[in-house]
Structure 1
């Protein structure tokens, strides 16, 4: 799986227009260069796809009731939908610029109690993976003012992208927050969680996939 395949596929993605519009803005410039994939990334993607094909699909669900229900997503094993735009910190973000890292995309809302309870775990995971991972938050049915207030109160220095027309919520099939998607190096969605997550839950998936990649 090389960069040519990814770029070609991304060009046909129905949600790629937002990325192009954001990067055309004369007010902002990209803060991060696109990182070329190295051999290790290619090996990881190969391993990840292999695991998915053999049923290693990690879809966890944890509701406030504690019971949870398993939920599959058609995105697992697929290229992550285009996520790009100007964050609340007025910096350009494009998920494609982080294809050499783990990216945890979290849909949340300021009015969501499980989201508030989950947020310290996102902070913890972000601190653990400063060199090889990134959290991205997308408010769901929320206002920019409330999203800013939420982060001012609970912390978090990662990108926060408003989804005013709910295009990303539709692209990811989000029904209610919190919902989280883990994107592996190479841009492939490898896991989905519905409900509160913990840093350790996410890391179990990360560690398992990294071990499988090494074994290959």
Structure 2
């Protein structure tokens, strides 16, 4: 079975003190609001509403955990950069994201969602540069690539790859399309590798900190 398809909702977290202590390893999904993060998660998991998809950007207001079994987790982070969110909520998101990304020892890597038509926004760059000191990898999904013709999508990918190369050799990118289910195998391999298991093996024990 595809590893993503084992995902089931586990818990919602609004404060760092509530992060699951039982987690051995986790991979987080982040991205600018309305970049297609929830749609990507749903497509990868082969579900329609595993992650909530809203026409109102900024709907995801908490850290949502999805269990993959054996103390492995997919983590859906709040979208960033939506101006109409009330200031107090926006400040809380920013603090929650910053502390989670900087301090969560179980976090193996970050999958960053970018709209392929508007990649490497100022906020995306800030996220990449801010995450750099953690020494952990980032894999960028350039979503909505079906809305570009082939030459434009390839150009967008090459542009992002070039920009990422100036930041870290651990930063990679690929094209992705939820409607066309494009790029699923590639991100699946990255996701499984970060969790320390085979992409199609949902039963191998997750790596435990200190082993």
| TM-score, L = length of structure 1 | 0.33
Higher relative contact order (CA 8 A, sep 6+): 1
| TM-score, L = length of structure 2 | 0.34
